[in-house]
Structure 1
Amino acid sequence: MPRLAWFLVTFLLFFRSLSAPAQETLVISGIEKSSYATISERVMREAYGRMGITVEFSGLPAERALVVADSGRVDGELYRIKNVHLKYPNLIMLPVPIGIMEGIAITTDPGIELKNWDDLGHYSVCIRTGVKFAEAGTRHLQVQTVNSNELMFQMLGLERCDVIVLARLTSIALAQEFSRRENKPVQYHLLQTYPLFHYLHKKNAHLVPELTTVLEAMKSEGRIAAIRAAYIEEISSIY
């Protein structure tokens, strides 16, 4: 190839690389040490990947994750229950559920029977700060709040509360470790089941239509359910 032609080809390739748009990267906050975060990360990584967007996830304490997302310091919140944006107005809820969560109560006393939130009123209850379904379900009760699921189980073991409230999948490893350590079984009580939704900060409102379409496709394909089922199989084989 003549030297001039080679120079022109090289120049055009170089210019094209400069003018090509860089792949977009989003940073999404979420609740740290949560099984639901793990499932939601897998769902949303695939969803954004279908849009050609790279995504990074930042695990934070539950309340802080929402505050950071609402402030715009990150691009959105990984998953929460429905209508969190009514309290955090800078967040936009994507309308397609990306998972489900079972809110449960855990006790060690086999004599305690719980079927709904109202039944908790007879007992001392511990919840984790910033976990919105637990805060909403116990809003009419006097509860003790702690900063981690581990601390809730410690309170249960020390009999400083009769009941702890958390999400079922998040509880599995902690409950089994608690039972081994305390040499006592735990009792599970289903309180309520919730769909989970992804939230974007309003600065990313332009992504909502396409992301909604992608999530609708993944739901129709059975992909969201398959990701959840695969994760449950993983943790079941471990524990």
Structure 2
Amino acid sequence: MKYIILFLLHLSFTCFAQQYHFAAINHLIEQEVGRIVLTEVYQQLGIQITITPLPGKRAHHKASIGAYDGEIMRIYSYGEETPSVTRVPTPYYYLETMVFTRKDSGIVINTANDLSRYQVVKVRGVKHTQNITRGMENVTDTDNTAQMLRLVNTGLADVALTNKMDGLVTLRSLGMSGVVAHPKSLNRQTLYHYIRNEHVELINKVDCKLKELQQSGELDKLIERAEQQVFKLKANHTPTF
């Protein structure tokens, strides 16, 4: 009888153990790397998570209203703009805001202010490109990276803005040689995991684990493996959207 009771208690604990649901931005390479890395971080903590890719604005809305427990990866300013979530203090990845233009365009962008002279496209709801183009009237939102690079390639837009890695991998997937990245990024920012304010204990646990992995060098290894996995997948897949 004793063992049956212990078994039932264990089963009950397993069934009702806390699981967390986070949003990610869909169709962005850095977010796909983050999904792999963060899942491993939580597995090492013995915590199960679910990650759902969504358009950027919808991901923000879901996390803000508490439909999800947060977002897997956003820049620092996201925490200032979203009071319902807390930034896990230790960053675990980074992005570079990069300009992509037609190879034969002759366009030179040295600073963000130079963007105002051209027709710019970016992915809707992505904070780093949203911030760098704030107040500009010459900016059009697209649904994904492949869509905006196609617009530049066909001459329907002058400049595409996205994370360097995201743009380069998508260009390779599309087999598009007429669009190139500028040699210098406009900005480089660290990326953070965001968790709803009510999960205080979880925030601390994840931060401690990230610090531990960072200090041991294991975080860099996790990131490298995740990047290779994503690159290999994307290299063999042409976007249809």
Aligned twin of 2:239: none
Task: Write the distance in 2 (CA, Å) between the matches of 1:212 and 1:179.
Answer: 39
**Residue 170 (structure 1) aligned with residue 163 (structure 2):** no
Whether the 8 Å CA contact 1:179–1:185 is kept in 2: the answer is: no
Task: Write the distance in 2 (CA, Å) between the matches of 1:132 and 1:194.
Answer: 11
Whether the 8 Å CA contact 2:27–2:144 is kept in 1: the answer is: no
Task: Write the distance in 2 (CA, Å) between the matches of 1:24 and 1:51.
Answer: 12
2:43 equivalent among 36, 40, 49 = 49
2:5 equivalent among 2, 7, 12 = 12
Name structure 1 gaps, 5 residues minimum. Answer: 1-7
Higher-Rg member (1/2):
1
Name structure 2 gaps, 5 residues minimum. Answer: 236-241
Task: Write the distance in 2 (CA, Å) between the matches of 1:27 and 1:236.
Answer: 25
Whether the 8 Å CA contact 1:39–1:227 is kept in 2: the answer is: no
Cα separation, partners in 2 of 1:213 and 1:187, compared to 1, 3 Å: closer
**TM-score using structure 2 length:** 0.86
Aligned twin of 2:69: 75
Aligned twin of 2:180: 186
Computed over aligned residues only, the root mean square deviation of the Cα atoms, in angstroms, reads 2.1
Task: Write the distance in 2 (CA, Å) between the matches of 1:17 and 1:68.
Answer: 32
Whether the 8 Å CA contact 2:79–2:85 is kept in 1: the answer is: yes
The CA deviation at 1:211 is 1.5
Task: Write the distance in 2 (CA, Å) between the matches of 1:106 and 1:19.
Answer: 53
Cα separation, partners in 2 of 1:160 and 1:51, compared to 1, 3 Å: same
Aligned twin of 1:227: 222
Aligned twin of 1:35: 29
Cα separation, partners in 2 of 1:178 and 1:48, compared to 1, 3 Å: closer
Secondary structure in 1 aligned to 2:150?
Answer: helix
**Residue 203 (structure 1) aligned with residue 201 (structure 2):** no
Secondary structure in 2 aligned to 1:186?
Answer: strand
Secondary structure in 2 aligned to 1:203?
Answer: coil
Aligned twin of 2:238: none
Aligned twin of 2:88: 94
The CA deviation at 1:155 is 1.7
2:143 equivalent among 144, 147, 154 = 147
1:159 equivalent among 145, 155, 162 = 155
Task: Write the distance in 1 (CA, Å) between the matches of 2:97 and 2:219.
Answer: 20
**TM-score using structure 1 length:** 0.87
Task: Write the distance in 2 (CA, Å) between the matches of 1:166 and 1:213.
Answer: 31
**Residue 218 (structure 1) aligned with residue 213 (structure 2):** yes
Aligned residues between the structures: 230
Alignment-mate amino acid for residue 89 of structure 2: P
Q: 87-96 vs 38-47, which deviates more?
A: 38-47
Task: List per-residue Cα deviations over 1:92-151 (Å, max 9, x = no partner).
Answer: 111100101111110013522223212212211111110110010011322112222222
Alignment-mate amino acid for residue 97 of structure 1: P
Cα separation, partners in 2 of 1:225 and 1:11, compared to 1, 3 Å: closer
Alignment-mate amino acid for residue 54 of structure 2: L
